Amino acid sequence: MSKPLMIQAGQTLLADARHPAYAQIRDKLGVFAELVRSPKDWHTYRMTAISLWHAAALGHTPEHIVEVLTSNSRYPVPIQLQQEIYAVMRRYGQIHLASSHDKLVLWAEDREAWTTLSQVEEVRAYWLEEDDKRMRAYVLPVNRGLLKQACMRAGYPIEDQVGYRDSERLEIQLRKSTLNGVALQLRDYQRHAVDRYYREGAVHGGSGIVVMPCGAGKTLVGIGAMVKCQCATLILTTNTTSVKQWKKEIVDKTDLSPDSIGEYAGKQKQERPVTIATYHMLTYKCKEKHAFVHMKLFQQRKWGLIIYDEVHLLPAPVFRATAELQAARRLGLTATLVREDGREEDVFSLVGPKTFDLPWRSLEARGYLAEVQCTEVRVGLSEQDRLRYWDAGPRVKPRIAGDNVGKDEVAAALLHCHPDKPALIIGQYLQQLRRIACKLNAPLITGQTNQEERERLFQAFRQGQVPVLVVSKVANFAVDLPDAAVAVQVSGSYGSRQEEAQRLGRVLRPKRNGGEAYFYSLISAHTREEQDAERRRLFLTEQGYPYEKVTEFDVWKRREEVSG
């Protein structure tokens, strides 16, 4: 039988999704290429400099990647493409940054690389003096992060060997058992993630990104890094719910007292040896001064470790602050490095390269994640809305399609198909969510819901007192609802791949009875939502989650079958 891969121009690869070996080649391609289109039969991948450098950071060689292509391609791999792979990957590790007395020294292993960089004005702007013969230049420590960004944009990621400052020490150890008496031990992949991040050295280890599925225990990996580093830690996360969950986990899993852990969110402004803050708090601006009034938190202690939870969401002001904080160890945690704004290179240069990446389905096979059936349901617009949609401008069309009233009945029918299973209805538009919550007589959680009420409702859901929750995008991240078995997405943020991954993550925790989980995405037929949906599911398709496509009529038929 012919092989599953065809190679096109522009570092583009076509993988035959019908081929028996597709699952194996998909996992291999995911190491060094990004899925950009996933129609039914042929999936399109593209190699980029960033994807190849991440592969290099994980220890893969250009020889290995060329071998993957050669052994799976139907036709010979073009020599030019092989040369491009070698050229791009060999730029990783050619440029180094090290300490030299009160300055930093930038040096190159390769004359061609040095000549290229020396001709880039943005890079040279940070040089104090140059020694062309020895291929090195001296730089002020304050410009460490900015230089790394400039070199990345020039096509040469820096291998940062400067090391880290002496930080405030913090004695912290893992408990042998949790506060509830459950034996505590990191899973093998969690230990491996911590070790790959730390790498037993002050120079080469201690900065990087760990990519793991939702529900796989990224928080525990962060705690493992804290134990390794033994230093004051600043944890940045997405919302107040996540702040409280981080604190709860640290108290439950380590010997730290609650008094040594500060919450810097909402009304709380506690700064402690371990401080947990939200991105929103750090990027809050005083209207009068037009300044980020809480950004000073970065300088208030000698932080030895900064943990960026959901690192793919880093806002621009935190990027700028991170450029100044290169003397602290940095750990990024995420389920997907996808950024819709294309700023992956800033995450790479300022936080670190990908040091650990775990395929989602591999944990499902081991029972650490629930098996999930993904279904895309096409829902028609009413005649009135269809006319409104075609008369509307490009900015209004997504709202009409997303807020399709026909989705309300379909969402209710889907819940009827899964009686007695805890369910989440997730959406983008508040008007739509209020309608559905009223129809289902279910509680609604939005950004306007105060923190105490959110926690009360989440806890009632965990305890089975509330069988259905209707939630806005505030539940995309850091909500621990392990028993949620059904998620119905009624609307989303256009073509956001990371949002799709996070919403699927709400049902990924293994179920107590070992049952399957179900993820439904409701799409308005014959609208722009169909194109957005294709883009949204790209990352999950890359991870091996196929979507069954059905119509609303299929849902009604299934509902009748369940009703008997």
CATH number at residue 153: 3.30.70.2610
* Among the listed residues 42, 32, 39, the one whose alpha carbon sits nearest the alpha carbon of residue 11: 32
Question: Which tokens is 161 given?
Answer: 């060997």
Sign of CA dihedral 248, 253, 258, 259: negative
Q: What is the mean pLDDT of residues 190-201?
A: 88
Q: Are 225 and 318 members of one domain?
A: yes
pLDDT band, residue 527 (cuts 50/70/90): very high
Mean pLDDT of 212-222: 92
pLDDT mean over 197-224: 86
Average pLDDT over residues 265-287: 84
pLDDT at position 148: 93
Give me the pLDDT at residue 401, please. Answer: 95
Lowest mean pLDDT of 134-138, 167-171, 244-248, 341-345, name the range: 341-345
pLDDT in tens, 539-558: 888 888 889 999 999 999 99
Task: Report the pLDDT averaged over residues 4-18.
Answer: 89
Taking CA atoms, 318 is separated from 225, 238, 247, 346, 563, in Å, by 21, 12, 22, 11, 52
Asked whether the predicted pLDDT for residue 276 surpasses 90, the reply is yes
**How far apart are the two ends of the chain, measured CA to CA in Å?**
46
Domain boundary among 89, 120, 136: 89
Give pLDDT, residue 430.
Answer: 94
Cα–Cα distances (Å) from 483 to 292, 310, 431, 535, in that order, read 39, 22, 27, 28
Give start and end residues of each alpha helix (H) in 39-127: 49-57, 62-72, 79-89, 111-118, 121-124
pLDDT of residue 322: 85
Contacts 24+ apart (CB under 8 A), 430-438: 430/472, 431/403, 432/402, 432/403, 432/407, 432/408, 432/490, 432/491, 433/470, 433/471, 433/472, 433/490, 435/405, 435/408, 436/408, 436/411, 436/412, 436/470, 436/490, 437/470
Alpha helix locations (H) across 213-359? 218-229, 240-253, 279-282, 316-323, 344-346
**pLDDT for 174:** 95
Query: Is 516 part of any domain?
Result: yes
Q: Is 390 a residue whose pLDDT tops 90? A: yes
Same domain, 129 and 278: no
Tell me the DSSP string of 457-509: HHHHHHTTS-SEEEE-GGGSSS---TT--EEEE---STT-HHHHHHHHHTT-S
The total of structural domains in the chain comes to 4
The enclosing domain of 258 has a CATH number of 3.40.50.300
For the chain, give the percent of residues with pLDDT over 70. 97
In-domain check, residue 178: no
- pLDDT for 404 equals 96
- pLDDT tens for each residue of 334-345: 988 877 777 888
Per-residue pLDDT, 204: 66
Among residues 73, 89, 105, the one where a domain terminates is 89
Q: Are residues 398 and 526 in the same domain?
A: yes
207 and 345 in a single domain? The answer is yes
pTM for the whole thing? 0.89
Please give the residue that has the higher pLDDT: either 295 or 209.
Answer: 209
Residue at 176 is within a domain: no
Which pLDDT does position 119 carry in this prediction? 94
Query: What Å distances lie between residue 559 and 5, 382, 488, 562, CA to CA?
Result: 41, 21, 15, 5
Q: Is 473 in the same domain as 527?
A: yes
Token representation of residue 160: 């940062």
Is the predicted pLDDT of residue 538 greater than 90, yes or no?
no
Can you tell me the distance from the alpha carbon of 49 to that of 33, in angstroms, rounded to the nearest whole number? 9
Using 50, 70 and 90 to split pLDDT, how confident is the model at 203?
low
Calculate mean pLDDT across residues 370-379: 94
**Residues 220, 255 within the same domain:** yes
- What residues contact 67, with CB distance under 8 A and at least 6 apart? none
pLDDT number for residue 343: 80
Instruction: Give the integer Cα–Cα distance in Å for 405 and 384.
Output: 11
**Strongest mean pLDDT among 37-51, 170-184, 316-330:** 170-184
- The answer to whether residues 318 and 279 touch, using CB atoms and an 8 Å cutoff, is yes
- Cα–Cα distance between 345 and 349 in angstroms, integer? 6
Residue 491's pLDDT is what?
94
Same domain, 418 and 317: no
Q: How confident is the model at residue 317 (pLDDT cuts 50, 70, 90)?
A: confident
Structural domain span for residue 461? 364-563
Same domain, 111 and 81: no
CA-CA distance, 205 to 549, in Å (whole number)?
45
Per DSSP, the residues of 155-190 read T--EEE--------B----B-SB-TTS-B----HHH
Render pLDDT for 91-126 as a digit per residue (tens, 0 to 9): 998 999 998 888 999 999 989 999 999 999 999 999
CA angle 173, 177, 182 (to 5 degrees): 150
What pLDDT does 289 receive? 61
> Is the pLDDT at 426 greater than 90, yes or no?
yes
Sorting pLDDT into bands at 50, 70 and 90, what band is 307?
very high
pLDDT of residue 331: 95
Report, in this order, helix, strand and coil percent for the chain, each rounded to 5: 40, 20, 35
CA distance 80 to 43: 22
Q: What is the mean pLDDT of residues 476-494?
A: 85
Burial 503-515 (b: 16+ CB within 10 A, else e): bbbbbbbbbeeee
Confidence of residue 290 (pLDDT cuts 50, 70, 90): low
Domain membership of residue 348 (yes or no) is: yes
**pLDDT, position 194:** 95
Average pLDDT over residues 448-455: 88
Q: Are both 336 and 380 inside the same structural domain? A: no
Write down the mean pLDDT value for the chain: 90
Residue in 12, 94, 89, 7 with CA at minimum distance from that of residue 55: 89
Residues 272 and 331 grouped into a single domain: yes
What DSSP state is assigned to residue 202?
T
204/162 Cα distance (integer angstroms):
9
SS3 sequence of 409-426: HHHHHHHHHCCCCCEEEE
Taking the C-alpha atoms of residue 217 and residue 221, their distance in angstroms, rounded to an integer, is 7
| 396 belongs to a structural domain | yes
User: Are both 155 and 198 inside the same structural domain?
Assistant: no
Statement: residue 200 has pLDDT above 70: no
State which of 50, 69, 89 marks the end of a domain.
89
- Tell me whether residue 171 is in a domain: no
- Residue 513, pLDDT > 80, answer no
Between CA 12 and CA 46 the distance in angstroms is: 4
The reported pLDDT for the residue numbered 437 is: 96
Q: Are residues 242 and 353 in the same domain?
A: yes
